[in-house]
Amino acid sequence: MKPQICQRSAPGWSVWKLAVVLYVFAAAAVAINLFMLGLLMQAVGFSALSPVTALLAAGPLGIPAAWAAGRWARHLLDEASAG
């Protein structure tokens, strides 16, 4: 079955506006995941990733994560207003 694309029915909350609101949370999630990945990589011989390095890397990597979260939230808003 082909997924149905919902029409944008709730005005004012575009994907990018939602992404800006959710950026802090998405970047924090990316930072935590990078830090944990650094800890896991110690098992294969890499050095641990410091929390500061994880935070600095999460800044730019949080942008696509925030966009994905905004897209997901927009989809949920469309589903809620449609049904």
What is the structure's pLDDT at 5?
Answer: 56
| Ramachandran bin of 45, using left for φ above 0, alpha for ψ from -120 to 50, beta for the remaining angles | left
CA distances from 80 to 9, 52, 74, 77 (A): 10, 39, 10, 5
CA distances from 1 to 17, 24, 49, 60 (A): 31, 36, 43, 36
Asked if residue 33 is part of any domain, the answer here is yes
Q: How far apart are CA 30 and CA 34, in angstroms?
A: 6
What is the structure's pLDDT at 13?
Answer: 85
Asked if residue 9 is part of any domain, the answer here is no
Asked if residue 7 is part of any domain, the answer here is no
What is the structure's pLDDT at 42?
Answer: 94
Minimum mean pLDDT range among 3-7, 18-22, 43-47: 3-7
Asked if residue 35 is part of any domain, the answer here is yes
Asked if residue 67 is part of any domain, the answer here is yes
> Confidence band (pLDDT; 50, 70, 90) for 60?
very high
Asked if residue 58 is part of any domain, the answer here is yes
19 pLDDT more than 70: yes
Q: What's the total number of domains in the chain? A: 1
Containing structural domain, residue 66: 15-82
Asked if residue 21 is part of any domain, the answer here is yes
